[in-house]
Amino acid sequence: MVSVVVAASLTGGTAAASTGSSADPVGISPTYTLGGGAIGCVGTVDAHYDPNALFFGQNPTIWVRPEFTFVPGVFQTPYCGVEATLRWKNLDTGASGVFPGRPVPLGDDTPLSPTDGLWVPMTAPTGVGRIEVQIDTNFPHVPGRGTIVVD
């Protein structure tokens, strides 16, 4: 059984903590980021943890998706993207790591409208306990953060 507590914060502000049953998805604050591939590429990497939506049974699975706004160039493909990594720390055991070894490419090809990007799984061998997660990109960004508890 997985029980979840979230305490997401961004730049010193704290989101309301929520506890829930194993069926409750947990939001992680968005990663605000610049991106590459188009003019004026800026947006977010949205993320959540849903204990009922695991990637091949791997727990935890953090699902991420890009949402960018940009102006497509005349001689460019309409695309804006980043490479994302998931940093994690088990607050109970002290174990930590970065997933994956090579960053995950995330992109959006809908310049001035909502993304049609798929949710991409990021998994990590965190073990049980309180797991602090952080989503980073390869461009200047404010990382998304959250804490989940895996029993």
Q: Model confidence over 104-113: pLDDT tens digits?
A: 999 998 888 8
What is the residue extent of each domain of the chain? 31-150
CATH of domain 31-150: 2.60.40
Q: Which two tokens stand for residue 31?
A: 């990663």
**Residue 7 pLDDT > 50:** no
The beta strands (E) that lie in 1-95 are given as 4-6, 9-10, 13-14, 18-20, 26-34, 39-49, 61-71, 80-90
Taking the complete model, does pTM exceed 0.85, yes or no?
Answer: no
Q: For residue range 46-90, list pLDDT tens digits in order.
A: 999 998 899 999 999 999 999 998 887 777 778 899 999 999 999
CA distances from 129 to 16, 20, 29 (A): 21, 16, 20
**In this structure, are residues 132 and 91 in contact, taking their beta carbons and an 8 Å threshold?**
yes
